[in-house]
Structure 1
């Protein structure tokens, strides 16, 4: 699964107003959309897509929607591979709830991203298990 933004400087045949962008970007404005696409690596075909206005793009929601619509052959499990924009605990939980596998690219381990707090080995490649407890409250009492 990957997402890409497309810009049109002339009015496309479909032109919903939410795809028009004008404030501060261009004197005349332009049309812009974000495409989230699900590609089947074995069949070499796109199996699903979700188009969103660029100002309302939500790759997390697009991932969940496409996983919900995806049909898996009985007795098999699929692996959903997503770029950085799709890496979230909610998307991981969504894949696990559907009894599917997933692999997400994430931000660098030195960033404030999802894996920034984990104790990651300083080697080129590694395999490690981490345990995460998700809570609704971020109070200091619940972090112990």
Structure 2
């Protein structure tokens, strides 16, 4: 059977700041992120399976990515744990969705984190092929499984 790639597109709004950065992005600012998630596998051939002919149900992929990434980060503020006194910034009246990461929340580090989150949730017969994360209309990072074996 042929290997097939499926891609689903996701959108979320997120703010971040880059600790100790030497440019404007050291200030809290937001982006309209677009995340493309591509998985690869062979369509199911078991005629008794309700997912017959599918590599993976798009709805199942949406559920995984929504739970792991979009629902958590949409309209959130994300900062690195390296920011001094970062815990004191969590003012509930302003930052109900506030995340402190182990890493600098760059597009590059976020996409690597997203790959780890998604890979652990995919069905056994489906692999994560690639991710593409647009931070702006003209700037994006890409992650490929083949580069990370």
TM more than 0.5: no
Structure scoring higher RCO (CA < 8 A, sep ≥ 6) equals 2
User: If you compute each CA radius of gyration, which structure gives the higher value, 1 or 2?
Assistant: 1
